[in-house]
Chain A
Amino acid sequence: EVQVVQSGAEVRKPGESLKISCKGSGYRFTSYWIGWVRQMPGKGLEWMGIIYPGDSDTRYSPSFQGQVTISADKSISTAYLQWSSLKASDTAMYYCARWSSEVPYYFDYWGQGTLVTVSS
Chain B
Amino acid sequence: AIQMTQSPSSLSASVGDRVTITCRASQGIRNDLGWYQQKPGKAPKVLISTASRLQSGVPSRFSGSGSGTDFTLTISGLQPEDFATYYCLQDNNYPWTFGQGTRVEIK
**Is A44 part of the contact surface with B, judged by Cβ < 8 Å?**
yes
Contact A106 B95 (CB under 8 A): no
Tell me, in angstroms, the Cα distance from A47 to B1 when the chains sit together: 12
How many A residues touch B, CB cutoff 8 Å?
26
Residues of A within 8 A of B53 (CB): 104
Q: Which of chain A's residues have a CB closer than 8 A to the CB of B97?
A: 47, 61
A-B pairs under 8 A by CB, number: 64
CB of A112 within 8 A of CB of B95, answer no
Q: Note all chain A residues with C-beta closer than 8 A to B45.
A: 110
* Interface size of B as a range: 20 to 34
B30-46 vs A, CB cutoff 8 Å, 1 = contact: the mask equals: 00101010100001111
* Minimum C-beta distance from A93 to chain B (A): 9
Q: Closest A-chain residue to B52, C-beta based?
A: A104
Q: Which residues of A contact B89 (CB under 8 A)?
A: 45, 47, 107
A105 touches B49 (CB 8 A): yes
Q: Give A113 to B40 CA distance when docked, in angstroms.
A: 12
Within 8 A of B (CB), among A92-120: 95, 97, 100, 103-108, 110-113
Within 8 Å of chain A (Cβ to Cβ): is B50?
Answer: yes
Given contacts A44-B100, A45-B87, A47-B98, contact A106 B55 (CB under 8 A): yes
Taking the nearest CB of chain B, how far is it from the CB of A120, in angstroms?
A: 26
How distant is the Cα of A107 from the Cα of B12 in the complex, in angstroms?
28
- Chain B residue numbers with a CB within 8 Å of A113 are 43
Q: Which of A46, A49, A97, A107 has the most CB of B within 10 A?
A: A107
Query: Within the complex, what minimum Cβ distance (angstroms) separates A6 from chain B?
Result: 9
Residues of A close to B34: CB separation below 8 A: 105-107
Asked if A26 is an interface residue, CB under 8 A from chain B, the answer is no
